[in-house]
């Protein structure tokens, strides 16, 4: 297992959940929910920089929404475009995309009776980021290899 803090990102249309791991890569914890829109990538970069002790952040892990069958639709395309923009902003820190199927469902189930309304939605985004990051940490521990797919910050975005 590589040593270093990782940030986990759950990208949504309205909010972005952010989580972090401990330096040993054992446990993911919630950090913040960032409102989507102007300044969202800047805020994520600030959160990354706040972790910047002598070792800094090892990598950022972002959930990629796939269909239950594993395919990619419009939401995955939007996430890939966001990932490239964020990768450019945080370079040289690497960004990896990992399968996030059912993470929001898992987060909702974990919070079912705890909160209601807008506060719950904000917490759900953070918990989904925790689930994404924890799955990535567990996968790396099990396989010995970094999770997901590395995002190339030099990749050209496509707009249809």
pLDDT for 7-61, tens place per residue?
999 999 999 999 999 999 999 999 999 999 999 999 999 999 998 654 579 999 9
**Residue 68 pLDDT:** 76
**Residue 3 pLDDT:** 93
**Residue 160 pLDDT:** 46
Fold of 5-148: Nucleotidyltransferase; domain 5 (3.30.420)
The residue to which tokens 């690497």 are assigned: 94
Please provide the average confidence, as pLDDT, over all residues in the chain. Answer: 87
**Domain locations in the chain?**
5-148
pLDDT in tens, 102-113: 565 565 556 565
Whether residue 4 is predicted with pLDDT greater than 80 in this model: the reply is: yes
**Once rounded to an integer, what is the mean pLDDT over residues 139-157?**
90
DSSP secondary structure, 103-137, as one string: HHHHHHHHHTTT--HHHHHHHHHHHHHHHHHHHHH
Whether residue 124 is predicted with pLDDT greater than 50 in this model: the reply is: yes
pTM of the predicted protein model: 0.86
In the chain, pLDDT over 70 holds for what percent of residues?
81
């Amino acid at each position: 297992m590589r040593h270093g803090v990782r940030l986990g990102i759950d990208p949504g249309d309205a909010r972005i959940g952010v989580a972090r791991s401990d330096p040993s890569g054992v446990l993911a914890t919630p950090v913040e929910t960032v409102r989507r829109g102007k300044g969202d990538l800047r805020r994520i970069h600030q959160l990354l920089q706040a972790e910047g002790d002598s070792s800094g952040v090892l990598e950022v892990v972002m959930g990629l929404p796939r269909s239950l069958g594993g395919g990619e639709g419009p939401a995955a395309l939007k996430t890939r475009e966001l990932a490239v923009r964020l990768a450019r902003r945080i370079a040289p820190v690497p960004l990896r995309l990992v399968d996030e199927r059912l993470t929001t469902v898992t987060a909702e189930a974990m919070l079912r009776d705890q909160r209601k309304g807008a506060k719950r939605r904000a917490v759900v985004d953070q918990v989904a980021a925790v689930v994404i990051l924890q799955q990535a940490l567990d996968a790396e521990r099990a396989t010995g290899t970094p999770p997901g797919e590395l995002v190339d910050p030099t990749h050209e975005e496509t707009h249809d």
